[in-house]
Structure 1
Amino acid sequence: MADTTTPASPVYVIGAGPGGLAVAAELRARGVRAVVLEKSDAVAASWRRHYDRLHLHTTRRLSALPGLRMPRRFGRWVSRDDVVRYLEKYADVHELEIVTGVEVDRVERGPGGEGWVLYATGGRRLSTQAVVVATGFNHTPYVPAWPGAESYEGELLHAGQYRNPAPFAGRDVLVVGAGNTGAEIAADLAEGGAGRVRLAVRTPPHIVRRSTAGWPAQATGILVRRLPVRLVDAAASLTARLSVPDLSAHGLPRPAKGLYSRAREGAIPVQDVGLIEAVRGGRVEPVAAVESFDGAKVVLADGTRVSPEVVIAATGYRRGLEGLVGHLGVLDARGRPRVRGARTVPGVAGLYFTGFTNPISGMLRELRLDATRIARTLTP
C-alpha cells in the first residue's frame, strides 16, 4: 500500500548519481522537498572516474532521466564526459537541493520505531520519514583474495583505476574478467599499443552486437523481459549464431547456458565494442581464469603460468550497503537490497532503494521508472 503522507521533514536521498538525482527531481516536481546527500564534492562522482573511452551501451533516447532529454549532439551512444555534463545540467535545470561532502554512515530507526535517523559526517543526525538509498551499483571495488597476490612482483590494479591505454604502451597486460568492463578495457589496450593483451575468462560470456541493422540490443532487452526464459534463450542463441562469429578456435567458446538465464543470475551480456575483432585478430588472447599468484607469475586454472607486467582486475564491485543498512534486514545474501523502486521490505516502511540492479533493458531507463514510482508513493 502506498504511503500517501507527505513527510514534514525532507526526504533524504543518499547519493547524487543518476538514480538519486532522478528521484529528487520527481519529488520536487510533485511539491515534496528532497535533499540529496553526496559524499564527494560534485554530482556524478562515479561517472567521472570511469575510463576515458566509455560510452553508454544504451541509446541516448532511452537513457534520459525524467524531465530532461539528452541533447542530439551527444550522438546515439553517449560518452562518459557527456553523461557527466548531462547530470550536471539535470541538477541545475531541476534546481535540486544537493549537499556535497556529507557521507551517511548509518541509517537507524527513529525514536519509538517511527521514521528514520541518518548518522552522517560531522556528527550530523538527520531525522526524516523517508529515505532513498541511491549510492550506486558500482560502489566498492572488489578484487578476489587470490593466494599470493600480496607478493606479486608486477603491478596489480582494479579496473576502476584504469583510465586509458597510454601508461601500458608496449607492456604485457592480463585483464581478469570478461564482463563488459573487462572486454572493453582489453580491446582498448589492444588498440592503444599494449605489447600483449590477455583476457582471463572463467565463464565465457554471451556477446551481442550493440545494434544490428540499426536496432539496438537494449530495445530487444526491453521487449523480451516478460517473455519465458526458455523462449528468450532459444531466440538469443539463434541470433548469436547469425550475428556473432564462433570464437572457440581463439579460446572463447559459446556459453553453455542461455543468455536470459545468465542475465537473470546477474551476468549481463557483453556488448561488442571491439572485442570480437581484437580476438579474431590475435590482439586479445583469451586464457583460463586466474587461480593464484607466484612471485612474478600468475597461475591460471588450467595450470598455465604467465608473466604479465600488469594485471587489471575487472572483477566488479560490491554494493557496500552492509554498514549503512545491513542491520535492518533489508539486504539479501549477496548484500543487495531485497526490494527496489516503490516497494519496501515488510515492516521497514519509508526506506527505498534504486540503482542496485543492472537489467538488460538498461540501468538508466530503470532508474527513470524507479524515480517516478517512488515519487508517486511519497506524494499525497
Structure 2
Amino acid sequence: MAVSSDHDKAALLRTDDRPVYVIGGGPGGLATAYALRARGVRAVVLERTDHVGASWRGHYDRLRLHTTRRRSALPGLSIPRAFGRWVARDHLVRYLEKYAEHHELEVVTGVEVHRVDRSADGADWVLRASGGRELVGAAVVVATGYNHTPHLPDWPGGTGFTGTLVHASRYRRPDPYAGQDVLVVGSGNTGAEIAVDLAEGGATRVRLAVRTVPHVLRRTTLGWPSQANAVVARRLPPFVVDPVAALMARLTLPDLSAHGLPRPGSGLLARAGQGALPIVDTGFVKAVRAGRIEVVAAVESFAGGEVVLADGERIAPESVIAATGYERGLAPLVGHLGVLAADGRPLVHGRRCAKDAPGLYFTGFTNPISGMLRELARDAPRIAAAVARGLPDARGPREGGGAAGKAPKTAG
C-alpha cells in the first residue's frame, strides 16, 4: 500500500507495533480498515470465523440487496456490473473477499475478541481474545455487526412445542419445508422474504404472524429505486416525509386491508427511527393478494403442538420460523466501559467516541432507511480521520519495528 504523505508516514510509524484493531470482518470492518490504511495507519482486522463476510454467508439463499449496486459499494472498489443492479448474497460475499484481497488488508481469521479494556496507563487498548491472547492497540473499531446474536423470544410453552421451531438465521431454502404448514413470525424484510420463498418453494400453507402492521415499499417505481428516495428522506423531518410516503403508498400499492394488512397508522420515517424498516416488496404483495401468504395475529404462546395467537386463535403449524431479529451482543465485549445504552447499542457511533473511552469507535450499529452498506461506506473515512487525529505524535519506529504487515503485539 502506498503511503501518500509525510503526515501519513508519521501515522504509520505511530501504529507499526500498536495497530488499530478492527473487530469484525464484515463490510463495516473491511471498509474502515481500508480507510485507515489509506491514511497510512496500520489496521488489523480480527474476524472470529474463518472467512470475511461471515454474517452474509449465513443468510438465506434467496437474499438480494434491496439497495442498488452503485449505492452498496464500499470505498475504493466498485461492485462489478456483472452482478446486476440487485446484488445476490453469493455475489456480495465474493465482492467482500475481493475487497480484502484488492486492498491487501491485514485480516486475521479465527480470532474472537471477548473483552476490550484500557491499558493500565490509559494510553492503549488491550483486547483479550481466544487462545488466551492479549493484543495491544492504539485504538479499536468495533464492527461486529447489527445482526450478531439471533434473538428468539421466550414464548410461554415454546420449549415444549412438538413441531419444529427455529430462528430465521437457520433458514436457507424452502426445500425442507415442502408439503408443510409453516408459520413465519415477524413482519420485517426477512420474515416477508422467507414467507415468499416458502410460498413459491412448495410449502402447502404459509402464514405470517404480524404484531405491528409494516409499511411496504415498491423496490422501484418506474425504474426509480426506493433507496434513492430514502437517501433524501433521511435528511428530512418525519412531518415532511411521512405524509408524502403515505400518499405514494396509496398511489403505487394496493390496499391489503382485506388480507389482514391495513394501511399503517404511524408514519414511515417515524417508524424507521424506532428501528422498524419498511418491507421492500420483492413478491410479497402479490403473494398476499393471491392468498399464498396468510396474515395472522402475533404469537402469544405455545401449547403442545399449537400456537396461540394474540386474537385467541389457535393454529397447528408443523414448523415455525422466527424472524424476530438479532441482538447486538456487545455487553460482554464493552459493557463494562459505560459505552452502551440500555438497549445494548452504542451510545455513540461513527467518528465520535464516548467521553470516557477515547479511541474506541463503533460502526454498523444503526439500521438506516438509506441502506446499511451505504452508511458503512460513508462512516469508514470519517472514523479513519478521527482515529488519525487522535493518535499521539510520531515517535519513530520502536526497536524491532517493521512494515505494516508484522504480527500483532501481545500484552505482557
* TM range, smaller chain: over 0.9
Which of 40, 44, 67 lines up with 2:76 in the alignment?
67
Q: Where does residue 142 of structure 1 map in the other structure? A: 151
CA-to-aligned-CA distance 1:325-364 (integer Å, 9 cap, x gap): 0111111111001111110111210000001111011100
Alignment of 1:232-247 (within 5 A): 232-247=241-256
Q: Quick one: which amino acid aligns to residue 245 of structure 2?
A: A
Q: Count residues in correspondence.
A: 377
Q: Secondary structure at the match of 1:378?
A: helix
What is the deviation of 1:178? 0.4
The answer on 1:346 being equivalent to 2:358 is no
1:249 aligns with 2:258: yes
**How far apart, in 2, do the equivalents of 1:377 and 1:227 lie?**
26
Deviation digits for residues 215-237 of structure 1 (CA, Å, limit 9, x no counterpart): 11111010111212111010000
* Separation of aligned partners in 1, 2:169 and 2:104: 31
- Residues of 2 paired with 1:226 and 1:97: CA distance? 35
Partners of 2:304 and 2:123 lie apart in 1 by: 56
SS in structure 1 of the partner of residue 70 of structure 2: coil
Q: Tell me the alpha carbon deviations over residues 44-97 of structure 1, each in whole angstroms, 9 at most, x when there is no partner.
A: 111111000100000000000000000100000000000000000000000000
Structure 2 unaligned regions, length at least 5: 1-7, 390-412
Which residue number in structure 1 is paired with residue 344 of structure 2? 335
Partner of 1:171: 180
Query: What amino acid is the match of 1:326?
Result: G
- Out of 322, 326, 329, the position equivalent to 2:335 is 326
> Residues of 2 paired with 1:264 and 1:115: CA distance?
35
- Whether 2:326 is the aligned partner of 1:303: answer no
1:154 CA drift (Å): 0.2
C-alpha distance in 2 between matches for 1:291 and 1:166: 28
Rounded to whole Å, the distance in 2 between the matches of 1:306 and 1:323 is 38
Is the counterpart of residue 280 in structure 1 residue 289 in structure 2? yes
Write the letter of the residue equivalent to 2:166.
Answer: L
Classify the secondary structure of the residue corresponding to 1:249.
helix
1:213 aligns with 2:222: yes
Aligned to 1:24: 33
11-20 or 218-227: bigger deviation:
218-227
Percent identity, aligned pairs only, is 67
Look up the match of 1:155. 164
Does residue 80 of structure 1 match 2:99?
no
Task: Work out the CA distance in 1 between the residues paired with 2:379 and 2:346.
Answer: 14
Q: State the Cα deviation string for residues 156-198 of structure 1 (Å, max 9, x = none).
A: 0000000010100010000000000000000110011101000
From the CA coordinates, give the structure whose radius of gyration is larger.
Answer: 2
Moved more, 149-158 or 223-232: 223-232
Deviation at 1:99, TM superposition (A): 0.5
Measured in 1, the distance between the counterparts of 2:112 and 2:203 equals: 38
Unpaired segments of 5 or more residues in structure 1? none
For residue 164 of structure 2, what is the amino acid of its counterpart?
A: E
Counterparts of 1:103-114 in structure 2 under 5 Å?
Answer: 103-114=112-123
Tell me how far 1:109 sits from its aligned partner.
Answer: 1.1
Partner of 2:269: 260
Deviations 1:257-277 (A, max 9, x none): 000000001101110011100
Residues of 2 paired with 1:115 and 1:286: CA distance? Answer: 53
Distance of 2:258 and 2:87 partners within structure 1: 34
Task: Report which stretch shifted further, 362-371 or 109-118.
Answer: 109-118
Task: Select the residue among 1, 15, 19 that pairs with 1:10.
Answer: 19
Equivalent position to 1:189, from 190, 193, 198: 198
Q: Supply the AA of the counterpart residue of 2:90.
A: D
Using structure 1 for the length normalisation, give the TM-score: 0.98
Offset, 1:379: 2.5
For 2:179 and 2:35, locate their aligned partners in 1 and report how far apart those are by CA, in whole Å.
49
Q: CA deviation at 1:112?
A: 2.5
Counterpart CA distance in 2 for 1:315 and 1:327 is: 27
2:65 alignment partner, SS class: coil
Amino acid at match of 2:220: S
Q: Distance in 1 between matches of 2:257 and 2:88?
A: 32
Q: Which of 94, 98, 104 is 1:95 aligned to?
A: 104
How big is the shift at 1:254? 1.2
Give the superposed CA RMSD: 1.0
SS of alignment partner, residue 21 of structure 2: strand
Residue 228 in structure 1 maps to residue 231 in structure 2: no
For the residue of structure 2 that corresponds to 1:62, the secondary structure is helix
| Deviant stretches of 4+, over 6 Å | none
Q: By how many angstroms is 1:210 displaced?
A: 0.6
